[in-house]
Amino acid sequence: MRRQRLTARGTERFRNYDAVLRQHEQEKRMKKIVRVFTFFVLIAGIIVLYVMVNRWEKKVKSKDVPKKEVRIKSNR
């Protein structure tokens, strides 16, 4: 238990709105960067997925095409 609560003069050294504002701006900027980064990662992921699916489809199609066999009949 304390005898007194901190007075306005006692809390004065902790009072700094400029610092609060600076930190707010910094966190806002950081949030924006994270959001942009997440967006690009998401887009990159979608592109990679698209390319992979495309390749896989091509692979499947090439397997489906029946192999041609050429026979030469000789009349001899």
Partner 1 sequence: MSEAEIRKEQEVIERSKKEPQAFGEIYEHYFDRIFNYIYRQTDDEELAGDLCSQTFVNALNHLHKYEFRGFPFSAWLYKIAGNEVNKHYRKSKGKKVFSIEELKVKELVEQASDGWDEEMVNKVINYMNELPTDMIQVLELRFFEDKDFKEIAFILDITESGAKMRTYRALDKLRTHFHIKVKYNG
Footprint on this chain of partner 1 (rule: CB under 8 A): 1-6, 8, 10-11, 13-17, 19-21, 23-25, 27-28, 31
Q: What is the smallest separation between the CB atom of 38 and partner 1, expressed in angstroms?
A: 18
Q: What is the smallest separation between the CB atom of 56 and partner 1, expressed in angstroms?
A: 44
CA dist 16 → 9, 27, 74 (Å): 13, 17, 100
C-alpha dihedral sign at 58, 63, 68, 69: positive
Smaller CB distance to partner 1: residue 7 or 75? Answer: 7
Measured distance CA(19)–CA(67) in Å, rounded: 74
Q: What are phi and psi of 14, to 5 degrees?
A: -95, -10
Smaller CB distance to partner 1: residue 3 or 73? Answer: 3
Q: What is the smallest separation between the CB atom of 24 and partner 1, expressed in angstroms?
A: 4
